[in-house]
Amino acid sequence: MKNITLLGATGSIGTQTLEVVKQHPDRFNIAAISFGQNIERGIDIIKAFKPELVAVKNEQVKDELLHALSLHNIRVVSGLEGLIEAATYPNADILVNAVMGSVGLKPTLAAIHSGKDIAIANKETLVTAGHFVMEKANEKGVRLLPVDSEHSAIFQSLEGHRCEDVSRLILTASGGSFRDRTREELKDVSVQDALNHPNWSMGAKITIDSATLMNKGLEVIEAHWLFNMPYEKIDVVIHKESIVHSLVEYYDKSVIAQLGNPDMKGPIQYALSYPERLELKDVKRLNLWEAGTLHFQKVDMNRFRSLALAYEAGRTGGSLPTVLNAANEAAVEHFLKGRIAFLDIESLVESALEAHKVIKNPDLETIEEIDSQTRRFINDKAADI
Ligand code: NDP
Ligand code: MG
């Protein structure tokens, strides 16, 4: 029996993690959860999974929750401290980090410190402070098991091989909601259009990131850290069907890929059951004759500026990936609230990168300071648009 702490239980990955857990009651148990402010969904989860500890966003949500439920034998905590308490909950064997954004950084570091393995969906943590997180994980001998489908695919395609034999990692990208539109056609797209992803049903922020291809940029940086791979050995290819989840090329030119119908329950379950493979009932089997033709296309870096910016931030390193991530989080939030246009996201991110003076090897305090500074910079700029 594996006891799990699930951060971000009410979200898209959180919900699918709970579906996986429900399928294997003899293997997985939810020991602790966190959520932000979706109380209705939070209550359903508490009733169904009976966690021992629940962390919520703030005191107000905590009060509302305590008011709505008479919680016996359940401890409710709040804020960042609560999130950290859940992440380090002694009765849990593994942490699934499925919160959205760099708010996931401190809980991740705390879980590493307490020696827990982490199934990591929260890619922003690795982008904003990859050098720091990996250093601590290596020091503690903690495993970071990828939940992101591309990284799970690479992880699976690397099994039984030596990292030094790898010549290239190839991440596939669906191209998001606007894959076939020109930049001209992107000028007036609405929030609703951008949220309409062709292949995956995900949280709002990552769906916008998929449309700009910033998601792929964040994933390039995530792959750099998870697999200790230099940027010149990480490529991206557009693959609109999202059936080939990513590929590894070896020096003998052999390429190993992982395939499946797009469903996050696969990578989530593998991170939880690794190295075992368990039956996964409600995922559609891949029949290649039904898939028919698979398409692959080179990425046009001028069309998808965000991906070029992410490569630049990753290659430069130091504090620049922190700026990339914070600027993007803040800009996407403005777009989702209807305050800026779609193309403003990448121009705001670009202006934040240009304005930043890079600090080599930033410590945690510096990372947090740069994260807040960048958000302020974007908020000011967005107000002028
Ligand atoms: P969602 O927006 O659907 O869910 C985010 C979760 O985090 C919710 O439970 C939310 O709570 C909680 N949360 C948000 N802000 C805070 C906060 N300040 N404090 C505490 N909790 C908070 O996101 P996704 O599930 O789509 O994505 C989660 C992570 O996984 C992201 O990093 C994303 O990039 C990554 N990922 C997602 C994939 C997907 O298919 N969705 C695929 C691959 C990676 P509440 O809603 O209750 O406020
Ligand atoms: Mg992904």
Closest-approaching ligand to the CA atom of 246: 2
**Residue 215 is assigned to a ligand binding site:** yes
Please work out whether the CB of residue 121 comes within 6 Å of at least one atom of ligand 1.
yes
Q: Does residue 79 have its Cβ closer than 6 Å to ligand 1?
A: no
- Ligand 1 atom with minimal separation from the 83 CA: 20
Do residues 4 and 96 make contact, with C-beta atoms less than 8 angstroms apart? yes
Q: Of all helices (H) and strands (E), which one includes residue 127?
A: helix 123-140
| Residue 365 assigned ligand-binding role | no
Chain CA centroid to CA 187, Å: 27
Residue 226 beta carbon below 6 angstroms from any ligand 1 atom: no
> What letter does residue 6 receive in the DSSP assignment?
E
CA of 100 to the centre of ligand 1 (A): 4
How far is residue 173's CA from residue 199's CA, in Å, rounded to a whole number?
A: 11
User: Does ligand 1 come within 6 angstroms of the Cβ of 148?
Assistant: yes
**Contacts for 282 with CB less than 8 Å, ≥ 6 apart:** 19, 23, 265
- CATH numeric code, 317-385: 1.10.1740.10
How many angstroms is it from 35 CA to the middle of ligand 1? 9
12 close to ligand 1 (CB < 6 Angstrom): yes
Distance between terminal CA atoms of the chain? 53
**Cβ atoms 145, 154 nearer than 8 A:** no
Distance from the alpha carbon of residue 203 to the mean position of ligand 1, in angstroms? 6
CB of 328 shorter than 6 A to ligand 1: no
Q: What residues sit around ligand 2, an ion, with C-beta below 5 angstroms?
A: 148-150
Whose Cα sits closest to atom 43 in ligand 1? Answer: 148
ipTM: 0.99
- For the CA of 202, the closest atom of ligand 1 is 41
Closest CA to 345 of 312, 378, 322: 378
Cβ neighbours of residue 9 under 8 Å, at least 6 residues apart? 15, 17, 18, 30, 33, 34, 35, 42, 45, 98
Q: Which secondary structure element, helix H or strand E, spans residue 29, and what is its range?
A: strand 28-34
Ligand 1 pocket residue status of 200, Cβ below 6 Å: yes
Q: What is the pLDDT of residue 191?
A: 95
Does 318 belong to an annotated binding site? no
Using alpha carbons, select from 88, 98, 227 the residue that is nearest to residue 150.
227
User: Which pLDDT score is estimated for 112?
Assistant: 98
Q: What is the pLDDT of residue 230?
A: 98
Ligand 1 proximity of 216 Cβ (cutoff 6 Å): no
Q: What is the sign of the dihedral through the CA atoms of 81, 82, 85 and 88?
A: negative
pLDDT tens, N- to C-terminus, the chain (385 residues): 999 999 999 999 999 999 999 999 999 999 999 999 999 999 999 999 999 999 999 999 999 999 988 777 899 999 999 999 999 999 999 999 999 999 999 999 999 999 999 999 999 999 999 999 999 999 999 999 999 999 999 999 999 999 999 999 999 999 988 999 999 999 999 999 999 988 888 999 999 999 999 999 999 999 999 999 999 999 999 999 999 999 999 999 999 999 999 999 999 999 999 999 999 998 999 999 999 999 999 999 999 999 999 999 999 999 999 999 999 999 999 999 999 999 999 999 999 999 999 999 999 999 999 999 999 999 999 999 8
Q: Domain limits of the chain?
A: 2-142, 150-262+271-312, 317-385
Give me ligand 1 centre to Cα 8, in Å. 6
pLDDT for 32 = 98
Q: Kindly list the distances between the CA atom of residue 201 and the CA atoms of 170, 198, 206, 284, in Å, as whole numbers in the listed order.
A: 23, 8, 10, 15
Check residue 18 and give its pLDDT: 98
Predicted pLDDT of residue 197: 82
**At the top level of CATH, which class does the domain 2-142 belong to?**
alpha beta
Spacing, Cα 149 to ligand 2 middle (Å): 5
CA atoms of 358 and 321, how far apart (whole Å): 10
Could you tell me if the CB of 124 is within 6 A of ligand 1?
yes
Ligand 1 pocket member 11 (CB < 6 A): yes
Among all chains, which residue has been given the structure tokens 């996407």? 332
CA of 65 to the centre of ligand 2 (A): 32
Mutate to test the pocket of ligand 1, among 33, 41, 80, 99 (most ligand atoms within 8 A of CB): 99
